[in-house]
A and B are shown apart, each in its own frame.
Chain A
Amino acid sequence: MSTPEGTGALLQLTGVSKRYRRGPQELCVLRDVSLELHAGEIVSVLGMRGGGKTTLLRIAAGMESADEGAVRFAGRDLTGLSDGELSRLLGGQIAWAGRSGPGMRVRMLDYVAMPLLVGKRRERARGARKTVYRQARCALERVGAAGCEEQRWEDLSDWERALVETAQAIAAEPALLLIDDITDALGIRETDALTSLLRRISRESRTGILMALSDAQAALWSDRIMTLSGGTLTQGPAAPGGNVIEFPGHATPQRDLGRGSTG
């Protein structure tokens, strides 16, 4: 493998291990996990519940630190960053979409705008607020959920929730999008619609997307498929000529270098 900086990867995990203490037992959630994700690429990580997917995403987001190994985002080592720098990164260049919702009764427009307002306390003048809400509206429109602006989380269907979560995640135009199983409750047409939406986003904005999935269907629209079980990441055999699919009219993500199989 070449030097970490040399691969040009957006996200690079090298030899990442994570253990949790549960009473007298030590649980190894991630075992020597290495992976690379490039700008404009979608990678699916398939695994059962409790298989370590969410931990992997949390480590990639800098929300948690690894016990061993290195995590690099755009060439920067996340372990060396301060809490302030990390929280600016998350919600800025790194975004998270899950299924948790706002946890309070707010309009979806406010929910989508929330991460955009974080860290802008001093700039809460009318102008900044206006820009933020324009951005939030734009994001909801982009995913086709403009109709949800005034609605509350409780009143939305699983499908609309997935769209709103996606809108919130892309509102700040992140470089890296981490998605924790938002397709789980969806039907076939909805899964296809959501994943092709993600595909369009990743092509248009060169967003790198790492998706944790508990069922395989949503993985069909990604560029690479990996599995995570018992803390071990398994990467499938590379297709001839690499797995990166060219899309007409869009830049092609750099073919991944030094992709090693761990496991």
Chain B
Amino acid sequence: MSRARVKGLSAGEAVLGLVIEQPDHRFSLERRLEARFGSAQFSYSTAYSAVRRLEKDGYVRATGAERDGQAAIYEATPAGVEHFREWVRSSTSAPVAREELHAKIALCEPRDLPRLIDVVHAEELACIAQLDSIRERMLAEQRAGALRPVAEQEWSTLMDRGVAHGEAAFWGGRIARMGRLRVYLEELRAEAERRALEQHRRGREERRAG
């Protein structure tokens, strides 16, 4: 299944931001990355390797040696904080529209249409599932009291709300596009059938004439 990725968001900066927010173990960072940026679909080991890279670059350091089976806690270095602040303020890169689906449609033959319509519908379902996971995250927040007056809410909760809306708009827009596309492809399928019938009829007439 094709899926748009959040192009330009490297796990490095996201993990660095999480460490600045709250120094943590590598495995907890994994969980927090998934909870906060779930729809970016970082792979499972992403936070792990990001921490290693950040450590090599001198942006985070381990505190509390790995002893007694206790995992090290990572915190940001001053250089790491500075790098992160710079990243926050720098302009963002626009995502690249590199859709597998578009190539499939561009190169599709009439006989592939029924299957392609199924593919588009499956993509629509996948988008609903994405929207659903954001929805569940929001409801979990609400149960945790996120609907208190703004003045009483944690800053990160308020900012997350903006992210959730942005993500919802992204998946919602995609759902709308897939819906429109499916309707169009269904019209094309009818058109393909009409043409096939026409061709068949003409062929029969020619045979009769010849």
Interface residues of A (CB under 8 A from B): 46-48, 51, 188-189, 191-192, 196, 199, 215-217, 219-222, 225-227, 229-230, 234-237, 239, 243, 245, 247-248, 263
Contacts and interface: CB of A to CB of B under 8 A. Distances in A.
Interface of B: 121, 124-125, 128-129, 131-132, 134-136, 138-139, 142-143, 147, 150, 161-162, 164-165, 168-169, 171-173, 175-176, 178-180, 182-183, 186
A263 B124 CA distance: 11
A216 B131 CA distance: 8
Given A229-B183, A230-B179, A217 B125 contact: no
Given A219-B135, A222-B135, A229-B179, 8 more contacts: A48-B176, A220-B164, A226-B128, A227-B175, A227-B179, A229-B183, A236-B132, A248-B143
Given A192-B161, A227-B128, A220 B134 contact: yes
Given A220-B138, A229-B179, A46 B172 contact: yes
A53 to B, nearest CB: 12
Provide the main secondary structure of the chain A interface.
mixed
Contacts of B161: 188, 192
A230 B186 contact: yes
Contact of B172 (A219, A234, A239, A245): A219
Given A216-B171, A220-B135, A225-B135, A234 B128 contact: yes
Q: Which label, helix, strand, loop or mixed, suits the secondary structure of the B interface?
A: helix
A38 B135 CA distance: 19
B139 A46 contact: no
23 contacts: A46-B176, A48-B180, A189-B150, A192-B147, A196-B142, A216-B168, A216-B171, A216-B172, A217-B165, A219-B168, A220-B164, A220-B165, A221-B139, A221-B142, A222-B135, A225-B128, A225-B132, A227-B179, A234-B125, A235-B128, A237-B125, A237-B132, A239-B132
B58 to A, nearest CB: 37
A170 to B, nearest CB: 19
B6 to A, nearest CB: 17
Contacts of B182: 229-230
9 A-B pairs with the lowest CB-CB distances in the bound complex, closest first: A216-B172, A229-B179, A236-B128, A230-B183, A216-B168, A217-B168, A220-B138, A188-B165, A217-B165
Nearest to A237: B129
Contacts of B165: 188, 191, 217, 220
Contacts of B183: 229-230
Contacts of A245: 136, 139, 143
Contacts of A237: 125, 128-129, 132
B129 A236 contact: yes
B121 A263 contact: yes
B183 to A, nearest CB: 4
B131 A236 contact: yes
A51 B124 CA distance: 15
Nearest to A248: B143
A217 B124 contact: no
A196 B143 CA distance: 12
A163 to B, nearest CB: 16
Contacts of B138: 220-221
Nearest to B140: A245
Contacts of B150: 189
Contacts of A191: 165
B106 to A, nearest CB: 22
Contact of A225 (B131, B176, B179): B131
A188 to B, nearest CB: 5
Given A51-B179, A230-B179, A237-B125, A216 B143 contact: no
A31 B135 CA distance: 27
Nearest to A226: B128
Contacts of A48: 176, 179-180
